[in-house]
Amino acid sequence: MNGKITRIISNLFTVKVGEELYGCRARGRFRKDGVSPIVGDNVVIDVNDNYILEILPRTNQLDRPVIANVDMAFIVTSTKKPNLDLVLLDKLISVITFNGIEPVIILTKTDLLQREEEIEYVKDLKDYYEMIGIKVFYNTEVNEIKRIVENKLIVLAGQTGAGKSSLLNRLDTDLDIKTDEISEALGRGKHTTRHVELYEIGKGLIADTPGFSALDLKNIDKYQLKDTFIEFGNYECKFRDCLHNKEIGCGVKDGVENKQILRTRYENYLDFLKELEKWKYQYLF
């Protein structure tokens, strides 16, 4: 029978077939083939012996968090405690877009913003990302978020303590997923989620994932990177292969100077380019 892997703990795979859940083991041949079943995989199982027999072709796969066949990624972004991290936000947008997944930004902890300039800054950021074509919601917009979940497999991504588990608890009050306080000493969240697991929310599936605060772009080349900054495509450059860095006649750089492109986005892009060059250099030795 065909089903979907919804949870992996140790070597036990929970597979959902219709409304039934089966605890399965993976055949040894997967290890020989260098393939591992992961959450989100569509699989064929033997329901009598509880073994995964086959992994069906994947539409996509993320390596961190490890999950397959994702339609949409909710980038859960804390505005306070932990502080807003635009580097991580833009890096996640690039990685998610590169993998053919739609990014959606979920802003959390806006109730902790006290100064008017902080509130306005977050509002301006929301307006900008929406303007370039990315959906943005506050985590309090529960009904709006539920509407876009329907019939999709969604992964939650974002740094530890950003409020991923809390978002799931808002979307389904029966879940009661464990959350934890921010470490005052470290200034970041404590891990509460220890494994990737799919939760049925309405008519969709959402994956809660272990939090993280860093990831790399080593699987993306520099030309693919610039395409993940979707607003850059609206500007004309003198050279078709312009990387929007040191080239003359660059429409993107003009867009930054004219305040049409968010400066933090452009500066993050330049930093990501340097990161890619570092990876390329390491591969030479």
Instruction: Tell me the HSE value of 84 on the side-chain side, using a 13 A CA sphere.
Output: 19
Domain covering 2-57 assigned CATH 1.10.1740.10 in the classification? no
pLDDT of residue 186: 41
Q: Which residues pair with 189 in a beta bridge?
A: 182
Is residue 55 predicted with pLDDT exceeding 80? yes
pLDDT of residue 193: 46
Is residue 26 predicted with pLDDT exceeding 90? yes
pLDDT of residue 173: 86
Closest CA to 122 of 159, 80, 163: 80
Place of tokens 């990161």: 275
pLDDT of 86-135, one tens digit each?
999 999 999 999 989 999 999 999 999 999 999 999 999 999 999 999 99
| More confidently predicted of 178 and 237 | 237
pLDDT of residue 281: 55
pLDDT of residue 31: 84
Band the pLDDT of 2: cuts 50, 70, 90. Answer: very high
Q: Which amino acid is at 215?
A: L
Domain boundaries, the chain: 2-57, 62-208, 222-283
Query: What distance in Å separates the CA atoms of residue 187 and residue 189, rounded to the nearest whole number?
Result: 7
pLDDT of residue 209: 67
Domain covering 62-208 assigned CATH 3.40.50.720 in the classification? no
Segment 194-215 shows an average pLDDT of 75
Mean pLDDT of the chain: 88
Q: Read out DSSP for 54-77?
A: EEPPPS-EEETTEEES-SEEEEEE
CA 65-68-71 angle, to 5 degrees, is 100
Q: Are 78 and 159 in contact (CB under 8 A)?
A: yes
Is residue 245 predicted with pLDDT exceeding 90? yes
Segment 139-160 shows an average pLDDT of 92
Give the CATH class of 222-283.
Answer: mainly alpha
